Chain A
Amino acid sequence: MSGLITTLIAVLVFPGLFFILTYGLFAQWVSRKAAARLQNRQGPLHTGWQGILQPLADFIKLVAKEDITPAAANKTVFNFTPLFIFALPLAATFLIPIQSITNLWSWTPVASFEGDLIMVLFLMSIVVLAIFLAGWSSGNLFGAVGATRVAFMMLAYEIPLSLVAIGPAILARSLSINSIVNWQAESVAAFLAAPNLWGLVTGMVLFIGFAIYVICLLAELEMRPFDMSEAETEIVHGWQVEYSGKKLALLNAGHDVKMVLAAALLTSLFLGGPAGPVLPPFIWFILKTTFCVLILSNLSVLFARFRIDQLVSGAWRYLVPLAVLQVMAVVALSGVI
């Protein structure tokens, strides 16, 4: 019986639904505030301390607003895709190790099985499919163009994303994120104890993987250099153009959760997830993911927007070969370590 209650709490409250949602809103605030400060302007201010409740206020406002389904839209698909776009990333976050309820100093994800890394990658690409259907079913010209662009983008970043994600799994010799995190914790501890050359080399190779992964995440989250799917100046709001009210609130919340998921994956695969010396695991998790959100936000402020053909050709000409080389280096290294 007690097992059921703890898992319920784990799923619904702590590292589960409630925590991820609030953390999603917090991440959106961090990203907006960082982007604002880098651009020498204020950013959200009046709601709560330094505008920290602004994302929540936006969410509530949108839920209260009128919810229009355009006449030309394909009703069922149009109404249900926002649910998928919100639920799928949320489901994926359950596989990320954050903090175990029972004991303060360990981290066990809500659900963990061999191969959950593949499950997370699969869920993230299904989200792209849902986004494509959302744009296409909205019956709006700009929505259609946005949807086709999302599909093109998936062609570009999906392969380097999955290739680089496999890197740490090879080193840890397991496909479960939890064991990857454990392996990182041990190997970092071992490395600190006896720094050897191979440790440094694996660090370098993993860093390259980290960089490629960040670029692919920027494309997956449709953030600035690759946000041609909702390019405000070309196709109004891209695939979200016809959404309003509750559906748009769900879409925005979905995007926040996807950002949390992306940052969480980044930390678990490359930065050692919730492992850390003094503080309890979920504090470390929050620090590291906020650091990743800051990186994403800084990069998104730094560049102009690419065209869709530049992304696809650039990805195939540079990202994919770089990712393949990185994985080969990892395989070679795994023989040694």
Chain B
Amino acid sequence: MSDRQFVIPIGPQHPALKEPTSFYFTVDGETVVDVEPRIGYNHRGIEKAMESRNYIQNLYITERVCGICSNAHQTAYTGAVEEAGGIQIPERAKYIRVFFHELERIHSHLLWLGVAAHEIGFDTMFYYVWRDRELVMDLLEEISGNRVNYAIPTVGGVRRDLQKDKFPKWHKILDALAERTNYYIKVASTEQTILDRAIGVGYLSKEDMIRLSGVGPNARSSGVPCDTRKTAPYLLYDEIPFEHIHVDNGDVLGQVLVRVLETLESVKICKWVLDHIPDGEITTKFNPLSKIQEGEAAYIVEAQRGELIHYTISDGRNMPYRHKIRAPTLANIPSVVERLKGGYIADIPIVLAGIDPCFSCTDRMAFYDEGKDKSWAWDGEQLRRHGLEWYKK
């Protein structure tokens, strides 16, 4: 390390990165030279915990893997368990699952748009986007009874039904969302200060993205067509008419465009579901204590941040033998490290926010939950020793 370089630790407690991870940047003046990600601060040992709970109790663990993509995790978990156990779910339940899957995508993308605006210092847009996001949050709360963890999918179907008499009101809400999203597309593409901070920032070419196996909007902003709803349709996505959004900018502006256009597509899908939902049963009664036949299933879902896989192995008991969750953000870390190199310090928050990191998703492998205080002490001591080393240089 030449003498002019110094290391800026960003995270795990940093206003820009509200996620429990830490990146060590070696910077030379204002440009970033090297990045070392350190994840694992929010490690809850979910997979080990899931091996000692039955299938219904696991529903509520997978729901809490991450705050904003709780429904995606549950859709994937129930899909995997039903495939392993050979359980068929009624047609109407599929429609309701798709409806919630897309509503949560709108809610998560709008949340990200606000946070990204905040990262580049545009708090006004943050306030406006989050005010308009309340529309979809109230809609979700009205149907599922909760703003975030909706607990709608369950093994064998869905837990709550959509009342037909409310469809016209929901259509109006969805139209208002589409109209507001169009306004933000116009602002994001004409506001000069946003363009200055987004064009060419954190660029990654299509080849590098494929080489580093990036997923979701992060990959689709570099031109890689990898939307699982299109490449490997699950639930009803082969029947629903919607576009495969991917742009070739490769920079932060590309990520903004992909996510905002996807929000519009999600609104279209929700309206399609409301128009085509058949009547009928919404769940096949699955007794919480019943057993699942022996089998294995890998179920891939297109969560908001990218491709999410739930791989489950059942051995005939009412608890899974092994359940693997790989959240999209872990797949995006190698590509974000590439994006950060060569940029400015000022761009670190927006490039990091570019992949919409959700590290609570990423950190759920090994067992370490109540030990929080212990790792806490570690942080202080590790940073203190790091401080000493840094001064000695």
Contact = CB atoms under 8 A, between A and B. Distances in A.
Contact of B122 (A234, A304, A307): A304
Contacts of B119: 233
A228 B30 CA distance: 12
B8 A141 contact: yes
A38 B119 CA distance: 20
Given A233-B118, A301-B124, A40 B346 contact: no
Contact of B30 (A38, A227, A305, A309): A309
Interface in B111-164: 117-125, 127-128, 131
B124 A302 contact: yes
A145 interface: yes
A306 B124 contact: no
Contact of B197 (A40, A224, A304, A308): A304
Given A304-B122, A305-B121, A308-B30, A40 B348 contact: no
Contacts of A302: 124
Given A141-B6, A307-B344, A308-B30, A236 B123 contact: no
A234 B346 contact: yes
Contact of A307 (B118, B124, B347): B347
Contacts of B118: 233
Chain A facing B: main interface SS: helix
A303 B197 CA distance: 11
A39 interface: yes
A233 B347 contact: no
Given A232-B15, A309-B30, A304 B346 contact: no
Contacts of A231: 121, 346
B121 A227 contact: yes
A304 B120 contact: yes
Chain B facing A: main interface SS: helix
A231 B350 CA distance: 13
Interface string A290-319: 000000000001111111111000000000
B15 A307 contact: no
A225 interface: yes
A232 B191 CA distance: 21
Contacts of A228: 346
B213 interface: no
A228 B197 CA distance: 13
A41 B16 contact: no
B275 interface: no
Nearest to B118: A233
A62 interface: no
A235 interface: yes
A39 B214 CA distance: 36
Given A141-B8, A234-B345, A39 B127 contact: yes
A40 B119 CA distance: 20
B293 interface: no
Interface in B343-370: 344-349
A230 B327 CA distance: 34
B194 interface: yes
A148 to B, nearest CB: 8
A236 B197 contact: no
B163 to A, nearest CB: 32
B127 A233 contact: no
B193 interface: yes
Interface string B193-231: 110110000000000000000000000000000000000
Contacts of A225: 193
Interface of B: 6, 8, 14-16, 30, 117-125, 127-128, 131, 191, 193-194, 196-197, 344-349
The 4 closest A-B pairs by CB, nearest first: A305-B121, A304-B122, A233-B16, A304-B193
29 contacts: A39-B123, A39-B127, A40-B127, A40-B128, A141-B8, A142-B8, A145-B345, A225-B193, A231-B121, A233-B16, A233-B121, A234-B346, A234-B349, A301-B123, A301-B124, A302-B124, A304-B121, A304-B122, A304-B191, A305-B120, A305-B121, A306-B193, A306-B197, A307-B196, A307-B197, A307-B344, A307-B346, A308-B346, A309-B30
Given A40-B127, A234-B346, A304-B193, 8 more contacts: A39-B127, A141-B6, A231-B346, A232-B16, A305-B120, A305-B121, A306-B193, A308-B30
